[in-house]
């Protein structure tokens, strides 16, 4: 009897504490999820392409586990893009670009402070190679991949519109006036 009331009391205290977070205002959670989704979409595709093209060599062959894990991740990202109702905007490419620049900065710091190299295929001792990897990896490839993702998003909207002709595009993916989305009963407004 005492353990039941203790469990119930602990559960009530846990539910009331909310860890100092305001669950009645979900904008922080939704914004965080949206940014993480933007980053994972483009960086996931980029990692799959880079691991297959840039890091393959005869001395460093691809292992089937690497291929299958990257391929499964890419297939998941592709289906997630088509199944989820997350709106994609062109200017949100800044999120994965910032992530890639941060990742490259941390990689350079690790290389020169602890001599740790994340990928042996990138020669970080050569400044020209490092500058090109930053330019191509973080800026150009993310921009191209983001435009590809935006094209897939527009294809998703076209397919949804073709499947549901009675609804308008505005009903399928309304342009958000704020970041509040379907979360605990909140909707775009």
pLDDT tens for each residue of 49-73: 877 776 666 566 667 777 777 788 8
pTM of the model: 0.66
- Look at residues 143, 176, 173, 144 and name the one whose alpha carbon lies nearest to residue 158: 173
Is residue 175's pLDDT more than 80? no
Higher-pLDDT residue of 92 and 136 is 92
Q: What is the pLDDT of residue 182?
A: 47
Q: What is the pLDDT of residues 133-165, one digit of tens each?
A: 777 777 888 999 999 999 999 999 888 888 877
Higher-pLDDT residue of 102 and 122 is 102
Q: Considering the domain boundaries, does residue 53 fall inside one?
A: yes
Q: Which of 9-13, 61-65, 84-88 has the lowest mean pLDDT?
A: 9-13
Q: Considering the domain boundaries, does residue 6 fall inside one?
A: no
Residue 23 neighbours by CB under 8 Å, 6+ apart: 184
Is residue 118's pLDDT more than 60? yes
Averaged pLDDT, 16-37: 70
Give the highest mean pLDDT range of 35-49, 52-66, 128-142, 164-178. 35-49
Q: Considering the domain boundaries, does residue 124 fall inside one?
A: yes
Q: Which of 13-17, 36-40, 46-50 has the lowest mean pLDDT?
A: 13-17
Q: What's the number of CA atoms in the CB half-sphere (13 Å) around residue 36?
A: 6
Q: What is the pLDDT of residue 147?
A: 93
Could you tell me if 135 and 79 are in contact, meaning their C-beta atoms sit under 8 angstroms apart? no
Buried/exposed 58-83: b ≥16 CB within 10 Å, e otherwise: eeeeeeeeeeeebeeebeebeeebee
> Taking every pair of C-alpha atoms in the chain, what is the biggest distance, in angstroms?
71
State the residue for tokens 């983001």: 146
Q: State in Å, rounded, how far the first CA of the chain is from the last one.
A: 48
Q: Considering the domain boundaries, does residue 2 fall inside one?
A: no
Q: Considering the domain boundaries, does residue 184 fall inside one?
A: no
Phi, psi of 162 (to 5 degrees): -70, -35
Structural domain of residue 133, as residue ranges? 27-172
Q: What is the pLDDT of residue 188?
A: 42
**Total domain count, the chain:** 1
Could you tell me if 92 and 38 are in contact, meaning their C-beta atoms sit under 8 angstroms apart? yes
Q: Considering the domain boundaries, does residue 86 fall inside one?
A: yes
Q: Considering the domain boundaries, does residue 22 fall inside one?
A: no
Q: What does the mean pLDDT of the chain come to?
A: 74
Residues in the chain: 189
Q: Considering the domain boundaries, does residue 15 fall inside one?
A: no
């Amino acid at each position: 009897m005492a353990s039941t009331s203790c469990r119930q009391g602990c559960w009530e205290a846990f539910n009331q504490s909310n860890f100092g977070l305001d669950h009645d205002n979900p904008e922080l959670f939704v914004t965080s999820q949206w940014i993480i989704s933007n980053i994972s979409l483009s960086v996931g595709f980029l990692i799959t392409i880079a691991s297959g093209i840039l890091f393959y060599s005869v001395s460093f062959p691809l292992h089937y586990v690497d291929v299958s894990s990257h391929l499964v991740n890419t297939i998941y990202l592709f289906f997630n893009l088509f199944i989820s109702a997350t709106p994609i905007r062109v200017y949100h490419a800044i999120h994965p670009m910032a992530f890639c620049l941060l990742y490259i900065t941390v990689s350079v710091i690790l290389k020169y402070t602890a001599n740790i190299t994340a990928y042996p295929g990138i020669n970080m001792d050569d400044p020209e190679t490092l500058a090109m990897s930053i330019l191509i990896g973080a800026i150009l490839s993310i921009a191209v991949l983001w435009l590809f993702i935006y094209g897939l998003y527009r294809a998703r909207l076209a397919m949804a519109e073709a499947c549901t002709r009675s609804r308008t595009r505005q009903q399928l993916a309304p342009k958000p006036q704020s970041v509040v989305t379907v979360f605990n009963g909140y909707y775009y407004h």
